[in-house]
């Protein structure tokens, strides 16, 4: 199995918290789509037998839903008819902004191979959406979900954020209830991270806002877990919740060391031996690709780095780490290291060993960063 990720960096406007690479240079969309298709062609052999093994496709951003139907069709035509002709992916996800899901866009998506849509609601409070510089309203989210379902797209994921400036527990509970009322298949929920080089970070530095209290953030997370579990969602990764059978297959590949190729500006790739990432500059990306140059940096992964990557990804999941996999992949030295260093957490019920899998318990989720740090091989 392998994954294909395509980064669409265009946004109509920038949200004040976003640290991902994006651009508002919409005039470059056509040239960018051409470059994306060409990069796929010249990197066709990055993953062995990718034609047969591409299991998931993910269009992320930025905002893929800012592309036109013609541009989206061109990308999928390149995938299916020019580059990965033999692929039969089971999950094809497209990220969308709720207010982009007009009747026309819902029609367009329904004609594409897309069978899963991921939308960033972030909150159902219109005042906070305005503060965050989101383009949509709470009602836009509800309308978008309804439109997609009417077009036959019923595998829908929605993102929420908690710990927003001045947000109370009651505000957060209201957001959870609004989202659960939509009965979407998948929920991703993240604590707000105030990252450098964002508008929100500058506001914090000027004393205009304060970060959420740590205890309040923990209570919000506990409430999220309680309410989603009560509605039948599986808490299968620290920040992700799914109805039965609706886990994100593509994101799960990141957590389970499945290789993937990333196409586009700022996209990352992983072939189990190395990882590489493209330049975070649309103009330079287009120029290099047009000259058959992959504008990327590469890091070859030694065994300790691959082990540490496993710690920081697999331990995020409810499945945890399979000890037989550790032995077969890394050897007895790493099995011994993992068991010895996890002992303090096992006896405190912050981790558990069930059959052949070691994982973080629900109580351990609140100190997961510390656990992972102690299990890193230095």
- What pLDDT digit, counting tens, does each position of 165-187 carry? 999 999 999 999 999 999 999 99
Does residue 52 register a pLDDT over 70?
no
- Rounded to the nearest 10 degrees, what angle do helices 103-111 and 138-150 cross at? 40
pTM (2 decimals)? 0.94
Q: What is the pLDDT of residue 51?
A: 55
Going along the chain from its start, the domains and CATH numbers come out as: 2-254 (3.80.30.20), 303-378 (1.10.10)
Contact 285, 33 (CB under 8 A): no
What are the backbone angles phi and psi of residue 49, rounded to the nearest 5°?
55, 35
Share of the chain above pLDDT 70, in %: 99
Rounded Cα distance between 207 and 122, Å, is 23
Name every residue whose Cβ is closer than 8 Å to that of residue 99 and which is 6 or more positions away in sequence. 135, 136, 137, 140, 144
CA distance 240 to 227: 13
Question: At 225, which helix (H) or strand (E)?
Answer: helix 214-230
Confidence of residue 25 (pLDDT cuts 50, 70, 90): confident
- The single-letter DSSP state of residue 64 is G
Tell me the mean pLDDT in the region 16-38. Answer: 89
pLDDT band at 291 (very low <50, low <70, confident <90, very high): very high
Closest to 4 in 3D by CA, of 62, 63, 78 = 78
The token duo for 251 is 């994101």
Reported as type and span, the H/E element at residue 129 is helix 126-131
Banded pLDDT at 322 (limits 50, 70, 90): very high
Centre a 10 Å sphere on the Cβ of residue 287 and count the other Cβ atoms it contains: 15
Spatial neighbors of 21 by CB under 8 A, at least 6 apart, are 7, 9, 62, 265, 266, 280
Residue 109, CA distances (Å) to 1, 76, 115, 135, 348 in order: 25, 12, 9, 20, 49
């Amino acid at each position: 199995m392998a994954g294909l990720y395509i980064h669409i960096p265009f946004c109509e406007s920038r949200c004040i918290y976003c640290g991902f690479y994006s651009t508002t240079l919409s005039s470059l969309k056509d040239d960018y789509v051409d470059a994306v298709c060409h990069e796929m062609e010249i990197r066709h052999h990055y993953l062995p037998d990718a034609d047969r093994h591409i299991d998931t496709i993910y269009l992320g951003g930025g905002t893929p839903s800012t592309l036109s139907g013609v541009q989206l069709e061109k990308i999928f035509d390149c995938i299916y008819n020019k580059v990965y002709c033999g692929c039969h992916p089971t999950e094809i996800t497209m990220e969308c902004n709720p207010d982009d899901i007009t009747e026309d866009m819902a029609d367009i998506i329904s004609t594409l191979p897309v069978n899963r849509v991921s939308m960033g609601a972030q909150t159902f409070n219109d005042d906070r959406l305005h503060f965050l510089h989101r383009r949509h309203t709470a009602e836009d989210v509800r309308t978008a979900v309804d439109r997609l379902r009417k077009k036959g797209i019923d595998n829908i994921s929605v993102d929420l954020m908690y710990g927003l400036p001045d947000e109370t527990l009651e505000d957060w509970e209201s957001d959870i209830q609004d989202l659960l009322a939509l009965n979407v298949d998948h929920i991703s929920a993240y604590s707000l991270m105030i990252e450098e080089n964002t508008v929100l970070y500058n506001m914090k530095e000027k004393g205009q806002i304060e970060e959420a209290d740590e205890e309040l953030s923990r209570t919000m997370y506990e409430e999220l877990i309680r309410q989603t579990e009560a509605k039948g969602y599986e808490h299968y990764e620290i920040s992700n919740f799914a109805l039965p059978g609706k886990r994100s297959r593509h994101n799960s590949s990141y957590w389970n060391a499945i290789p993937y190729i990333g196409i586009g500006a700022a996209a990352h790739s992983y072939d189990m031996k190395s990882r590489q990432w493209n330049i975070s500059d649309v103009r330079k990306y287009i120029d290099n690709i047009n000259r058959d140059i992959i504008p990327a940096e590469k890091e070859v992964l030694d065994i300790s780095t691959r082990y540490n990557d496993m710690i920081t990804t697999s331990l995020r999941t409810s499945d945890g780490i399979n000890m037989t996999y550790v032995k077969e992949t890394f050897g007895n030295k790493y099995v011994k290291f993992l068991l010895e260093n996890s002992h303090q957490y096992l006896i405190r019920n912050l981790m558990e060993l069930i059959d052949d899998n070691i994982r973080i318990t629900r109580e351990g989720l609140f100190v997961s960063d510390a656990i992972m740090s102690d299990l890193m091989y230095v």
